[in-house]
């Protein structure tokens, strides 16, 4: 958050002690409130961001005295204990996006999951009760988090824990480490430079926390750092012992700059350019002589702090550190003597020890749909059918029939011809097309398409309540149109995700219906969820209101599926009850068999050929000028420097007014110009809304085997104009420390999000920072997978990870709050997700990028990029323009082509 300016007797701390946007409790640990005496220029740049800037004068030797309340704590009794079968950890979450990576590690190492509470969730009386009366925990871990330990709303109850629990082992990570120093009188200051997602070699003193871990430069002990602030080692009191520090001042990229296999056949020109890039990488390092403090321990308490992140996927020996902390805990309790220590209860699940606490985060667990709280999901097999019902919702038994069409997709002209022939009439009203238009290297395999169909078809349209009403508790307005055109409007008190969850849990089905099918969508909901539904995922409000609905989905009961790998076509039909008919399947197959194999690429749906398209009269205008956007980047970097965020995904919008446009024709042009594995066309006619999406990024998928997968993209560079230049640019992206850091931050964030809902030990990263090439750009892509826990639903998984971390930054909640005040309009559909929710709870969702949204006579394109401490503002602006180029160019050229076609028709 803010730096500490030191003197011999006192230090200044400019702390953004805030009225927290998440309505956190402002736990004041000192008997008197801190005096507000000034504002920083960083906050002045964003006067509408509701954080109270304070400068606090605190005497370093008074901090423990202010907080000390040891007389109120009971003396802990001691006696020897046997080795603990399980270790029970209380994990304090400082509203971070990496806490559940620690949760996953501890679940494995401790033999049971920790209990997770946020730093303002329990009162001190509750903490005291469970620690000293119930004796429910063996140790405590204090998580990383945004901000500074000098700000009560950032650190919550953690300072009091560190001060008043001398007899319980505690490990503080990053912010928790800084809190350990601060509570004992050390000064928290700016680091020599903000370091996020970058690596360092570590030296240590060989204490028990680093048992069996190498030390020093090139020893193999490389760790990931996410911090802007540090403990000043010169201010350490005698109680705190430094135990670890960086072995050199400069940081290291995850992939070192070195020779690649790509150079086997590279030209001398490319080699020379790459050698220059290597020299530039070396020269750009600021070789400071001062090492940075990376770990401390208390001289008489079992309290440890680590500035780096042992839970990161790129930290070496991180699991060993957590194992060592378990051993420290066991050894500590073995040394104690107590007549009652054998009464310490060990349960299989930590959440059973503490009433009303779940191992899931508050933003997920407190919704009535989760775990054993206000929902009792029943799983039963009735007449061979799977039943996942929700109390209070009527059970719907669904029967699915399918047929493999007796011709290949290529024989009827491919996906484009199939869609236009089956669903392109009447301007493709109420139609969808989840379009794997780029299938190279197995990136995607199936396309799903359909329109308004059978009796089960319906459309859901959801709008959040007026966000200007601060007294509103949430929820929104849902409109449901059925197959006959009847519309029912209702208010959802508990929000859209809760409604959709109950809908999916109400379906009863027979798994045998889809045996033998190679894909995971068999009918269900298809559509989009807008970015502003983050308000149902932990962010309490949205500053901006979207012009488009916040969610629109079709329930589709008739689907055509194309298997691009095998060139097969399937047609599916969904019915309610035990009766079913195959007439629709036969009709679709006959239409496909009658379809001519070769159709002109420029043939449009019949009704849209004659639509009036006027000549281009205007061009795209940006929500912000270049100067404004660059100023926002600088504001992002100011927040990062103060520890408020590690990375902020800043975005903006470009818009153009259109009198009329053939939106399906535009999408067909876009998919040819910029094919993508997670492309989509959606047309919600009643809302006058069409979406032309060419996204290369998967947000989240859950297959029928309960495997969750995320594929975030972070790191983008333009393709070269020649093969040599293209290869160089690809290598430049691969070895860019900045892009590696961006990608790593989001990988760790997605690991955290999956860790909330996946089985302990199952979250892994099979592909890290791989380069994928598309028509206009190279991208850096990683893959994260895990196995979903049996006690969570599909919507639980989405809500735990939404919005996609690649569009927010980290820590996610604080970053979204900051972005809401930096950006001057709602992102709307952009940054949300498009995809399907199958009736059996499988789903596949993209990230809405590289997309044209056409709504009520206006086309909009969103674009942005991740801002880090290493960002160059001019480069970031150019990257944003690069990402918007393909969809904007498609709109402009389609308008010109349509105008020329109209002129030809009139002559």
DSSP characters for 715-739?
EEEEPPSSHHHHHHHHHHHHT-HHH
- DSSP-based three-state secondary structure for 810: strand
Report the alpha-carbon angle 92-163-158, nearest 5.
20
- For strands 115-118 and 89-93, give the pairing: parallel
Contacts of 257 (CB under 8 A, 6+ apart): 277, 278, 281, 735
Place of tokens 């488009």: 548
Which secondary structure element, helix H or strand E, spans residue 331, and what is its range? helix 318-335
Handedness of CA 329, 331, 335, 341 (dihedral sign): positive
Which secondary structure element, helix H or strand E, spans residue 808, and what is its range? none
* Nearest CA-CA partner of 15 in 31, 32, 39: 39
* Nearest CA-CA partner of 560 in 583, 528, 585: 585
Contacts of 837 (CB under 8 A, 6+ apart): 500, 504, 524, 525, 526, 553, 794, 795, 843
CB distance 463 to 477 below 8 Å: yes
- DSSP-based three-state secondary structure for 887: helix
Beta bridge partners of residue 866, listed in sequence order: 649
* Nearest CA-CA partner of 842 in 445, 557, 520, 397: 520
Sheet with 54-58, strands from edge to edge, namely 4-6, 11-15, 54-58
HSE-up of residue 720 (Cα within 13 Å, Cβ side): 13
CB distance 796 to 841 below 8 Å: no
Q: How far apart are CA 424 and CA 420, in angstroms?
A: 4
3-state helix, strand, coil in the chain (%, to 5): 30, 25, 40
Backbone angles phi, psi at 459, to 5 degrees: -125, 130
CB distance 330 to 83 below 8 Å: yes
Enter the DSSP assignment of 784.
E
Strands (E), 411-475: 432-435, 446-450, 458-464
Contacts of 701 (CB under 8 A, 6+ apart): 708, 709, 710, 843, 844, 845
Q: How far apart are CA 574 and CA 276, in angstroms?
A: 61
Strands (E), 86-235: 89-93, 115-118, 139-142, 170-173, 188-204, 222-231
Q: How far apart are CA 490 and CA 469, in angstroms?
A: 19
Which secondary structure element, helix H or strand E, spans residue 527, and what is its range? strand 524-529
- For strands 777-787 and 764-773, give the pairing: antiparallel
Tokens of 438: 């780029």
CB distance 353 to 347 below 8 Å: yes
- DSSP-based three-state secondary structure for 104: helix
* Nearest CA-CA partner of 271 in 721, 718, 731: 731
- Give the active site residue among 204, 309, 317, 575: 309
Active site residue 174: yes
- Give the active site residue among 158, 165, 174, 833: 174
Active site residue 778: no
Active site residue 309: yes
Which secondary structure element, helix H or strand E, spans residue 637, and what is its range? helix 626-641
* Nearest CA-CA partner of 281 in 780, 857, 731: 731
CB distance 185 to 61 below 8 Å: yes
- DSSP-based three-state secondary structure for 139: strand
- Give the active site residue among 105, 121, 203, 311: 311
Backbone angles phi, psi at 570, to 5 degrees: -125, 150
Residues annotated as part of the active site? 174, 309, 311
């Amino acid at each position: 958050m803010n730096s500490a300016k030191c003197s011999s007797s006192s230090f200044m701390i400019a702390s953004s002690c805030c009225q927290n946007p998440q309505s956190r409790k402002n736990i004041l640990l000192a008997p008197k409130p801190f005096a507000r005496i000034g504002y920083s220029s960083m906050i002045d740049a964003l006067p509408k961001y509701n954080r109270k800037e304070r400068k606090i004068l605190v005497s370093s030797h008074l901090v423990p005295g202010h907080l000390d309340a040891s007389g109120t704590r009971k003396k802990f009794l001691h006696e020897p204990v046997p080795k603990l079968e399980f270790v029970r950890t209380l994990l304090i979450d400082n509203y971070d996006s990496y806490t559940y990576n620690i949760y996953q590690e501890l679940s494995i190492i401790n033999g049971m999951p920790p209990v997770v509470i946020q730093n303002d969730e329990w009162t001190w009386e509750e903490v005291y009760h469970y620690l000293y009366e119930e004796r429910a925990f063996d140790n405590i871990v204090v998580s990383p988090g945004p901000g500074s330990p000098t700000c009560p709303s950032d650190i919550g109850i953690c300072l009091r824990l560190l001060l008043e629990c001398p007899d319980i082992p505690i490990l503080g990570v990053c912010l928790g480490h800084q809190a350990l120093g601060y509570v004992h009188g050390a000064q928290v200051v700016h680091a020599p430079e903000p370091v996020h997602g970058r690596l360092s070699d570590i030296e240590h003193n060989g204490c028990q926390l680093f048992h069996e871990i190498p030390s020093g430069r090139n020893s193999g002990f490389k760790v990931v750092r996410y911090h802007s602030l540090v403990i000043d080692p010169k201010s350490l009191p005698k109680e705190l012992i430094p135990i670890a520090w960086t072995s050199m001042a400069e940081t290291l990229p995850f992939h070192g700059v070195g020779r690649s296999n790509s150079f086997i056949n590279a030209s001398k020109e490319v080699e020379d350019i790459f050698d220059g890039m290597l020299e530039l990488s070396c020269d750009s390092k600021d070789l400071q002589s001062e090492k940075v403090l990376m770990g401390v321990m208390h001289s008489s308490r079992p309290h440890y702090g680590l500035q780096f992140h042992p839970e990161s996927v790129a930290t070496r020996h991180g699991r060993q550190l957590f194992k060592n902390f378990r051993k420290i805990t066991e050894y500590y309790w073995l040394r104690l003597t107590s007549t009652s220590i054998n009464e310490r209860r060990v349960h299989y699940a930590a959440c059973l020890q503490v009433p009303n606490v779940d191992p899931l985060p508050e933003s997920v667990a407190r919704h009535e749909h989760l775990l054993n709280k206000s929902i009792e999901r029943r799983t039963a097999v009735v007449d061979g059918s799977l039943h996942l019902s929700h109390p209070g919702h009527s059970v719907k038994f669904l029967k699915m029939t399918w047929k493999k069409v007796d011709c290949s997709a290529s024989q009827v002209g491919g996906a484009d011809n199939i869609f236009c022939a089956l669903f392109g009439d009447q301007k493709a009203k109420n139609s969808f097309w989840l379009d794997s238009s780029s299938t190279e290297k197995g990136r995607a395999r199936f396309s799903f398409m359909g329109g308004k169909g059978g009796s089960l078809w319906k459309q859901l349209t959801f709008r959040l309540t007026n966000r200007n009403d601060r007294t509103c508790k949430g929820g929104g307005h849902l409109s449901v149109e059925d197959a006959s055109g009847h519309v029912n409007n209702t208010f959802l008190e508990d929000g859209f995700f809760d409604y959709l969850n109950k809908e999916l849990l109400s379906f009863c089905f027979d798994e045998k219906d889809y045996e033998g099918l190679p894909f995971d969508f068999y009918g269900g909901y298809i559509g989009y969820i807008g970015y502003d539904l983050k308000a149902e995922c932990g962010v309490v409000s949205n500053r901006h209101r979207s012009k488009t609905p916040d969610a629109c989905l079709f329930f589709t009961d008739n689907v055509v599926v194309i298997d691009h790998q095998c060139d097969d076509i399937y047609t599916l039909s969904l019915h309610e009850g035990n009766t079913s008919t195959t007439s629709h399947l036969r009709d679709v197959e006959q239409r496909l068999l009658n379809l001519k194999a070769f159709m002109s690429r420029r043939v449009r749906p019949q009704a849209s050929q004659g639509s009036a398209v006027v000549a281009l009269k205007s061009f795209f205008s940006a929500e912000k000028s270049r100067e404004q956007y660059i100023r926002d980047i600088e504001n992002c970097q100011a927040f990062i420097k103060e520890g408020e965020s590690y990375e902020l995904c800043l975005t903006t919008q470009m818009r153009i007014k259109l009198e009329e446009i053939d939106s399906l024709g535009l999408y067909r042009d876009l998919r040819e110009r910029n094919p993508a594995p997670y492309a989509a066309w959606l047309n919600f006619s009643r809302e006058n809304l069409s979406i032309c999406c060419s996204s290369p990024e998967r947000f989240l998928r859950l297959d029928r085997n309960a495997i969750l997968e995320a594929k975030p993209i972070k790191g983008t560079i333009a393709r070269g104009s020649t093969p040599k230049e293209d290869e160089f640019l690809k290598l430049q992206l691969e070895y860019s420390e900045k892009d590696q850091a961006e990608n790593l931050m989001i990988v760790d964030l997605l690991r955290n999000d999956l860790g909330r809902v996946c089985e302990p030990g199952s979250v892994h990263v099979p592909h890290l920072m791989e380069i994928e090439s598309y028509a206009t750009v190279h991208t850096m892509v990683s893959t994260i997978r895990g196995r979903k826990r049996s006690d969570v639903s599909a919507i639980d998984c989405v809500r735990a990870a939404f919005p996609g971390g690649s569009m927010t930054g980290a820590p996610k909640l604080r970053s979204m709050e900051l972005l809401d005040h930096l950006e001057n309009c709602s992102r709307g559909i952009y940054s949300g997700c498009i995809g399907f929710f199958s009736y059996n709870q499988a789903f596949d969702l993209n990230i809405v990028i590289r997309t044209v949204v056409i709504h009520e006579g206006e086309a909009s394109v969103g674009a942005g990029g991740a801002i880090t401490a290493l960002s160059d503002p001019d480069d970031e602006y150019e990257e944003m323009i690069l990402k918007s180029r393909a969809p904007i160019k498609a709109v402009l050229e389609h308008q010109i082509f349509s105008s020329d076609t109209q002129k030809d028709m009139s002559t």
